Structure 1
Amino acid sequence: MTATTLDAPDAHELARFYRDLLGWPTQKEEPGWVEITPPGGGVGLSFQTEPHFIRPRWPSTRSEQQMMMHLDIEVNDLSSAVEHALALGATLLDFQPQEDVRVLCDPAGHPFCLFVAEVPGRVPGV
């Protein structure tokens, strides 16, 4: 696998958010498409403009677009990472299912989790 692709109303806007959040450089940029990857290599994120994009709803409801996937992002300091994400345009969601995980939405509405791994290999679940 080379990347996970997120659809958005504006691929370039969403790519800027994640590039600034993660500190990853842009590898490819063209109309309606952007790819970013970790500095040391590995699986990256791609962003695609989708004119019919509908923001997902989390927690899900039967009548609205459900979340199809989310990103889990390990951080060193949870409160600093949340502040950084909020400053970049993320939204902290009202419902937080775990005390040691923060669920936010990126500017296009995709949920993502920030967490500090207390146990090696621990990944939160939403």
Structure 2
Amino acid sequence: MAACTLDAPDARQLADFYENLLGWPRRSDAPEWVELAPSDGGAGLSFQTEPLFSPPRWPSAPSRQQMMMHLDIEVDDLTSAVERAVALGATEADFQPQDDVRVLYDPVGHPFCLFVHTDSDS
């Protein structure tokens, strides 16, 4: 797999958020398509402009765009990672299903999770 692609009303604006959150450089940058990739290789994250974008709904609700995927991002310190993500433009979800995971929404509404790896995760 080369990348996971997220739709957004403005690809560059959403890419700015994830570029700052993940610290990944841009591999490609066009007005309607941006690619980020980790410096050490591996799959990246791409963004495409979708003028008819409708944000997903999580938790799911009838007759709303359902979440079809989300990003899981491992962090060293959950509290500081949440604070940083919120400072960059994320919003913490009202519903949190686990104590050791925080669900947030990026600036256009895609849910993503921040978590700290523990020995019980193996």
Cα deviation per residue 1:7-62 (whole Å; 9 max; x = unaligned)? 00000000000000000000100120000000111100000000000011100011
Q: What is the aligned partner in structure 2 of residue 59 from structure 1?
A: 59
Q: For 1:109-124, list aligned pairs within 5 A.
A: 109-119=109-119, 122=121
Are residue 72 (structure 1) and residue 72 (structure 2) matched? yes
Find the aligned partners of 1:118 and 1:34 in 2 and give their Cα distance: 33
Residues of 2 paired with 1:56 and 1:31: CA distance?
A: 23
Q: Which runs of 5+ in 1 are unaligned?
A: none
Match status 1:83 vs 2:59: no
The answer as to 2:14 corresponding to 1:14 is yes
- Give runs of ≥4 in structure 1 deviating > 4 Å: none
> Match of 1:76, as an amino acid?
D
Instruction: For residue 119 of structure 1, report the CA deviation from its aligned partner.
Output: 2.2
In the alignment, what sits opposite 1:108?
108
Q: Partner of 1:44 in structure 2?
A: 44
TM-score (norm 1): 0.94
In the other structure, the counterpart of 1:35 is 35
Percent of residue pairs bearing the same amino acid type: 68
Please, which runs of 5 or more residues in structure 2 have no aligned partner?
Answer: none
CA distance in 2: counterparts of 1:67 and 1:107, whole angstroms: 15
CA RMSD in angstroms comes to: 1.1
SS of the residue aligned with 2:119?
coil
Distance 2:31 2:25 in 1: 17
State the secondary structure of the residue aligned to 1:107.
Answer: coil
Q: Deviations over 1:70-95 (max 9, x none)?
A: 00000000000000000000000000
